[in-house]
Amino acid sequence: MDIFSIEGPTRLAGKVKVNGSKNSSLPIMAAALLAPGKTVLKGVPRLSDIAVLENLLSTLGPKVERLENGDIIIDATVVDNPVGEYDIVRKMRASVCILGPLLARCGRVEVSMPGGCAIGDRPVDIHLRGLAELGAKISLKNGNIVATAPQGGLVGKDIFLGGPFGATVLGTDNVMMAAVLAKGTTVIEMAACEPEVADLANFLNAMGAKIRGIGSPRLTIEGVKQLHGIEYTVISDRIEAGTFMVGAAITGGEVELDNCALGDMMAVVDRLRNCGVCVENNNGGCIVTRTGEIKAADITTQPYPGFPTDLQAQFMAMLALAEGNSIITEKIFPDRFMHVAELNRMAANLRKEGASVVVAGVKKLIAAPIMASDLRASAALVLAALAAEGTTVINRVYHIDRGYEKIEEKLNAIGAKIMRQAI
Ligand code: EPZ
């Protein structure tokens, strides 16, 4: 198990290249199952979550290979074992995104019901409701979801996919991937509009699917007979980009981000500017600078284009050092506050009130031994440690490796002092 020792305070200054999006890559890798042929994916980051899905896909029949240059080749000519094994699926909830493609390609799928995780319950009831609307028979057998398509295949339908927290990202992905090979037309109302969902839809259309309304809450999908393998480059990771933007802000630094789509980050840029952080467009990327004090700001997480829940923890770390009080409200995962207790160990002044946290800004954070718990909370702790006085030790760094490729190398290259140690 690795730990990070992080010396602070440091100031980040320099240029960093944003990787391809983890949350685009995962459903797109699953969607490659839909085409009997070879798909080449470019720009996919080297992350443990990606490796888990590579392994899972290879147990379903396809040949999966990662080249030296980082490209992933998925040859899905053969998909003859539509069963997602528990001991692989339990490692990563997003494995559930094989449901839709396997149901569409093989007419049957069995995948372990994903468990909860540190950010809360992760139900898939809306996924299953959407697939059932397309004609699938759904049952639960010893913790496994078993879905079978009717004899003649899935049939398109108008489907409302909204839930108590709004749209569902992977739920939209699963139903869309099932619908592309269904007979007739499917309309998904209250589809998720995240850029990663749009990226998946663009990938599917490049494979021969017929999806309209991409990026809007209403997707219209005309079923086709077959799809073909393609070469495709995934979009950049707006959550990694946002994490580095907060890094510049929390350390009073100046960071140039390369390969970052500011157009997909308007809610994030709005909050940064509200906090007194300067964000400038810079050919295909941006420059983020903070010179004055961090100003307090209120943040509420919402489905895209609202403020992304995946940057809530990172912004909390920054607002812990703001002048004045901020209120952060989590409308997507109301329990996504594992980072609060750890930040308070660093002398932050955070008080949880239901699905909100009152952040009373303090003058400084103090280094302490802390525990990573989930991917984005762990990234927030790294950011806090960069600004804290002293050497912070973060345990269970594997959480960070799930979603950030060599984060310590990238941060050290622009002024951080992070040492990774195996214990
Ligand atoms: C995706 O998870 C992302 N993961 C998450 O990022 C992200 O936090 C989340 O979307 C929200 O943006 C990937 O893309 C791999 P949801 P997903 O279904 O699709 C409820 C990260 O850090 N819901 O959009 O699983 C659910 O409980 C990860 O990279 C139901 O009630 O999230 C939540 O409250 C963490 N029933 C809300 O909807 C369902 O059937 C949104 O969840 C499905 C979801």
pLDDT digit string (tens) for 324-334? Answer: 999 999 999 99
Ligand 1 atom closest to 173 (CA): 19
Which token pair is 189?
């109302």
Give the Å distance between the CA of 332 and the centre of ligand 1.
8
Ligand 1 atom closest to 119 (CA): 35
**Residue 165: CB within 6 Å of ligand 1?**
yes
Which token pair is 32?
């490659």
**Mean predicted confidence (pLDDT) in 299-307:** 98
State phi, psi for 195 to the nearest 5 degrees. -55, -30
Structural contact between residues 322 and 359, judged by C-beta atoms closer than 8 angstroms: yes
What integer pLDDT is reported at residue 389 of this predicted model? 98
Residue 281 contacts by C-beta under 8 Å, 6 or more apart in sequence? 262
Mutation probe of ligand 1 site: the residue of 22, 119, 168, 234 with most atoms within 8 A of C-beta: 168
Give the Å distance between the CA of 58 and the centre of ligand 1.
25
Structural contact between residues 90 and 115, judged by C-beta atoms closer than 8 angstroms: yes
Mutation probe of ligand 1 site: the residue of 52, 122, 199, 304 with most atoms within 8 A of C-beta: 122
**Residue 244: CB within 6 Å of ligand 1?**
no
Mutation probe of ligand 1 site: the residue of 99, 332, 337 with most atoms within 8 A of C-beta: 332
Residue 316 has pLDDT above 70, yes or no: yes
Residue 368 has pLDDT above 70, yes or no: yes
What Rg do the C-alpha atoms of the chain give, in angstroms?
Answer: 21
Residues 2-18+237-422, CATH architecture: Alpha-beta prism (3.65)
Residue 366's pLDDT band (boundaries 50, 70, 90)?
very high
| CATH no., domain 22-233 | 3.65.10.10
Task: Give the separation between CA 95 and CA 127, rounded to whole angstroms.
Answer: 13
**Residue 26: CB within 6 Å of ligand 1?**
yes
What integer pLDDT is reported at residue 116 of this predicted model? 67
**Residue 376: CB within 6 Å of ligand 1?**
yes
**Mean predicted confidence (pLDDT) in 283-291:** 94
Q: Which residue has the higher pLDDT, 302 or 143?
A: 302
Residue 336 has pLDDT above 70, yes or no: yes
**Mean predicted confidence (pLDDT) in 127-150:** 96
Task: Give the separation between CA 300 and CA 296, rounded to whole angstroms.
Answer: 14
Residue 259 has pLDDT above 90, yes or no: yes
Q: pLDDT averaged over the chain?
A: 96
Residue 357 has pLDDT above 80, yes or no: yes
**Residue 403: CB within 6 Å of ligand 1?**
yes
Ligand 1 atom closest to 121 (CA): 27
Quick one: CA torsion of 43, 47, 49, 52, rounded to 10 degrees? 90
Residue with tokens 């009373």: 360
Residue 241's pLDDT band (boundaries 50, 70, 90)?
very high
In the annotation, is 117 catalytic?
A: yes
Residue 283's pLDDT band (boundaries 50, 70, 90)?
confident
Q: What are the residue boundaries of the structural domains of the chain, listed by start?
A: 2-18+237-422, 22-233
Give the Å distance between the CA of 69 and the centre of ligand 1.
31
In this structure, how many other beta carbons lie within 10 angstroms of the beta carbon of residue 187? 17
Residue 423's pLDDT band (boundaries 50, 70, 90)?
confident
Residue 164 contacts by C-beta under 8 Å, 6 or more apart in sequence? none
Q: What is the pLDDT of residues 174-227, one digit of tens each?
A: 999 999 999 999 999 999 999 999 999 999 999 999 999 999 999 999 999 999
Residue 152's pLDDT band (boundaries 50, 70, 90)?
very high
Q: Which of 97, 106, 117, 278 is catalytic?
A: 117
Give the Å distance between the CA of 167 and the centre of ligand 1.
9
The residue whose C-alpha atom lies closest to atom 1 belonging to ligand 1 is: 169
Structural contact between residues 279 and 245, judged by C-beta atoms closer than 8 angstroms: yes
Q: How far is CA 16 from the centre of its chain?
A: 20
Q: At how many degrees (to 10) do helices 169-179 and 99-106 cross? A: 10
Give the Å distance between the CA of 113 and the centre of ligand 1.
15
Give the Å distance between the CA of 170 and the centre of ligand 1.
7
